[in-house]
Structure 1
Amino acid sequence: MVLFTGCTSVHAKNLPERNDSVPSPSIICLSSDTAELLVIIGAGDHVIGVPESLVQNQPELLQFLPNAVSVGDAKRPDNERILELKPDMVMFISAMRPATAGTWEAAGIRAVPVESHKAGDLPKIARELGTLTGHDDKAREYAMFCEETLALVSSRIHGGRGSGPVIYIESYSDYVAYGNVSAADSVITMLNCHSLSGQVFFNATRISNEWLVTRDPDFIIKCIIPDNDKTMEGEYARLRDRPGLSTMRAAQENRVFVVNGNFLFSPHAPVGMVYLAKAVYPDQFADVDPDTVLQNYHRRFLHANETGSALYPVPWGKHGSGGLNP
């Protein structure tokens, strides 16, 4: 079994092969993305612990996680609770490995880094988790959906790597730009675009307003996680209000967007790619409806309709034209 570790998704043999003579593994997921991916492949009942952030921000997943309880903060989980639950393994994002991971290993619990938020990695990770949990069929279906969706995107984008427009993509924190080892930078690369900050910075880096204005990128994209206090519309208005932004090409040509990070850095990532691809290349994706792709994802894998927003504003109107649907 191969899993991914580190920010660059380096391959490492961390997980054991499935053993049919022993019960399927019990798992604590400190990453909401990995918990969602296990739900998608039909293995939600393997999950016995999740971060409090999932309970608060993604309660719709809880119906598919019947055995899961909160283990607190993803970075600083309740270690006593984890040891009491006695999982076979704890999965987490490699960059957020808790300091208490050593105590799990001493208790015979596997500490397993899993990166479930990069679109290009998801098919392989899904298949591996399917093998581990005995849910190969649904994992294969999801992996094929990802591959078909990403193939749709790549087939419409002409030119080589870096031949597209320059995009500035900002993290959840104001004026903190993503670096070239981020999932955000990989999205820009897959769109054959130039990442303004990825060309300069390795890690996420705080920039000045002047730095951005003087470089005048073709597109400006701000990532947020909507909640009761933060809406896509409100954050867009706040972004457009920044000093000097009105003088930039992106603002003057209506190429400033707010994107919901839940759709771009999660098992939704291939769907999020369709939204961004249509925003950046409207002519090539004129007959593709991202909303249809999103609803298909939710009906097939979460058995529900999605009511959230992936992108704001939506330049093609409430419903995209056409109906191509992986």
Structure 2
Amino acid sequence: MRWITGLILLLLIIAPAGALASAEDDARNLLAAGILSEMKGEGPGIDLLRDAASLYPDYPRSITDSGGRVVILYRPPERIVVMNSNAADAASVIGLSDRIVGVGDTITKAPLQFPDLAGLPNIGKYNEPDIEAILAVRPDLLISYVLWPDTEKLERHLPKRIPVIRMDLYKADTFRSELSELAHITGGSEEAAAYLSWYDDILSLVNERVGSIPDEERVRVFVDYGSGKSSGRRTMSEGTGMHDILVAAGGVNVASGHVSGYADVENEWVISQRPDVVLIWSGKGGYITGEEALFREARDDLMGMPGFSRIPAVRDDRVYVVSSAFGFGTVSPVAVLKVASWLYPDRFADIDTDAVHAEYLTRFTHAGEEIRTSGTFYYPAR
């Protein structure tokens, strides 16, 4: 109780004589609310309140995560669990790698992408967490997808002292805001500021060069996702990552308005649309070496489909393969730039997009030289 009294006195001392800056005002309100909750026996715990008081006005901090829940941290997290590759990717970019103590199984299986994280304790699958393994690494923050795992599999089994932030960190329309919020609540960093500046510069460059193109002059694109489950080809329309990338790159998805999401379309329909460019989305390549031949085969297979020689994209040799490891998350601005250069080569003739990707790998990832020289992220490479 002595500590509670001391914290209340602290709040009185730091009470504003006038208007406080927003961040300081938020910290004071959060600290006051935490103290009141503690007095009711529902608070975060005296240790966290003590730390927050010593860190004031930098902490407490709060965000509303993508699951719509308010998450409060009373001190910067020092032991973080990332449950999926997108969370690991984002956390690494904003300078949190050395605070990660547990990772999902997709990260343990990607040593070339996450050489500094792959050997950490495995805390289960992104949708099937191993609660005992999570508790064993004593985390003070856990980052998961918005929908997976559901709360019955995760939060229900965790003590209240372990906050969970739910963010997808791969969707084009929410990625930047999510990353910015994650950087804020974990303490901010020069790495986060540098990455977000780079992110904005790349997307601004693309928009400056394609944003004013009239709708009727935009390049028409078919996105191919392999053979259809029922017949024909499978495509990606509104609601998919590839659709967002090609729209940001100034293209028109020919499947838009015809189907949505992931859907099968007849070969005859694809031919009838006469797309200027075909983008083949592949689950191969990325942070794996020696898979360029698989990209070449996928491209050759599509271009050899009966009747596809009548498609302008095939006739003009404008068929490209993109790895799923290239389009989502922190690398997404490079993907938008690369696709834009394929759609409008004259507008990007002065940009070495391969060099931009190499810069991304060097500045913002921990991938080794073998990935920079032998990883296949798109085909043809030039």
Indicate the TM-score class for this superposition, using the shorter chain for normalisation.
Answer: 0.7 to 0.9
2:352: which partner in 1? 289
Report the Cα distance in structure 2 between the residues aligned to 1:178 and 1:92, rounded to whole angstroms. 25
Asked whether the 8 Å contact 2:107–2:118 carries over to 1, the reply is no
Report the Cα distance in structure 2 between the residues aligned to 1:85 and 1:14, rounded to whole angstroms. 24
Amino acid across the alignment from 2:109: Q
Asked whether the 8 Å contact 1:162–1:194 carries over to 2, the reply is no
Report the Cα distance in structure 2 between the residues aligned to 1:80 and 1:162, rounded to whole angstroms. 57
Q: Partner of 1:61: helix, strand, or coil?
A: coil
Report the Cα distance in structure 2 between the residues aligned to 1:203 and 1:131, rounded to whole angstroms. 33
Question: Percent identical across equivalent pairs?
Answer: 23
Residue 269 (1) aligns with residue 332 (2): yes
1:323: which partner in 2? none
Asked whether the 8 Å contact 1:161–1:189 carries over to 2, the reply is no
Distance 1:134 1:235, change over 3 A: same
1:57: which partner in 2? 110
Asked whether the 8 Å contact 1:185–1:195 carries over to 2, the reply is yes
Amino acid across the alignment from 1:221: L
Asked whether the 8 Å contact 1:51–1:73 carries over to 2, the reply is yes
2:122: which partner in 1? 70
Q: Deviation per CA, 1:244-292, whole angstroms, max 9, x where unpaired?
A: 2222111001111111121111211101111111110000000000011
2:223: which partner in 1? 169
Q: Which has the higher helix share?
A: 2
Asked whether the 8 Å contact 1:118–1:183 carries over to 2, the reply is yes
Residue 213 (1) aligns with residue 275 (2): no
2:380: which partner in 1? 313
Residue 42 (1) aligns with residue 95 (2): yes
Number of equivalent positions: 303
CA RMSD of the aligned region, Å?
2.7
Distance 1:245 1:141, change over 3 A: same
2:71: which partner in 1? 15
Query: Normalization by structure 2: what TM-score?
Result: 0.71
Report the Cα distance in structure 2 between the residues aligned to 1:15 and 1:23, rounded to whole angstroms. 13
Which 4+ runs in 1 deviate beyond 4 A?
A: 160-163, 227-230
1:112: which partner in 2? 165
Report the Cα distance in structure 2 between the residues aligned to 1:202 and 1:182, rounded to whole angstroms. 9
Asked whether the 8 Å contact 1:130–1:137 carries over to 2, the reply is no
Report the Cα distance in structure 2 between the residues aligned to 1:40 and 1:267, rounded to whole angstroms. 8
Distance 1:139 1:233, change over 3 A: same
Amino acid across the alignment from 2:333: P
Q: 2:199 aligns with which of 121, 146, 162?
A: 146
Amino acid across the alignment from 1:46: R
Query: Normalization by structure 1: what TM-score?
Result: 0.82
Residue 250 (1) aligns with residue 313 (2): yes
Report the Cα distance in structure 1 between the residues aligned to 2:143 and 2:217, rounded to whole angstroms. 37
2:242: which partner in 1? 184
Distance 1:215 1:161, change over 3 A: closer
Asked whether the 8 Å contact 1:55–1:62 carries over to 2, the reply is no
Q: Partner of 2:260: helix, strand, or coil?
A: coil
